């Protein structure tokens, strides 16, 4: 019987994690990648206290019309919740991608149900 083995994630460095986020950003389809031109994506160690999150979109979605007077939108990707939850390299890469696309979806005006339907819930 042949099974595949995905080794656990070794102590992942901040640099490696940021590389995974950049890789996820680079893989965004061209028709959506322009949305990132107006959104800062940052890696943070942990979410705000009392919140259990992998990522967070803060801003006014593109579909909301006039966004003048509001701070620029940004996406935070939280390293430690992802690294602590997803113990294999393949799982971590997959979940970082899903998290980045999920938060981009919010910027594009999608709600949780729409994102779930796309597999980014």
According to DSSP, the residues that pair with 74 across neighbouring strands are: 40, 58
Instruction: Give per-residue pLDDT as tens, 13-71.
Output: 999 999 999 999 888 878 777 777 788 999 999 999 999 999 999 998 877 767 677 88
Instruction: Say if 51 falls within a structural domain.
Output: yes
Instruction: Say if 19 falls within a structural domain.
Output: yes
Cα separation, 93 vs 22, whole angstroms? 11
**Contact present, 94 and 54 (Cβ < 8 Å):** no
Question: Domain tally for the chain?
Answer: 1
pTM of the model: 0.84
Longest dimension (CA), the chain: 62
Task: Please report, for the domain that includes residue 56, its CATH number.
Answer: 3.30.2010.20
**Contact present, 47 and 84 (Cβ < 8 Å):** no
Instruction: Give per-residue pLDDT as tens, 62-103.
Output: 777 676 778 889 999 999 999 999 988 899 999 999 999 999
Q: Which domain holds residue 21?
A: 14-116
């Amino acid at each position: 019987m042949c099974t595949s083995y995905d080794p656990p994630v070794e102590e992942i460095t901040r640099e490696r994690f940021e590389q995974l986020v950049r890789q996820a950003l680079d893989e965004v389809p061209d028709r959506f990648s322009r949305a990132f031109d107006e959104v800062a994506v940052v890696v943070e160690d942990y979410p705000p206290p009392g919140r259990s999150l992998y990522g967070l979109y803060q801003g006014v979605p593109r579909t909301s019309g006039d966004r003048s007077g509001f701070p620029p939108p940004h996406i935070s990707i939280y390293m430690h919740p992802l690294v602590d939850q997803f113990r294999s390299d393949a799982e971590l890469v997959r979940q970082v991608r899903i998290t980045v696309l999920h938060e981009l979806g919010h910027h594009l005006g999608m709600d949780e149900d729409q994102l779930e339907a796309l597999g980014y819930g």
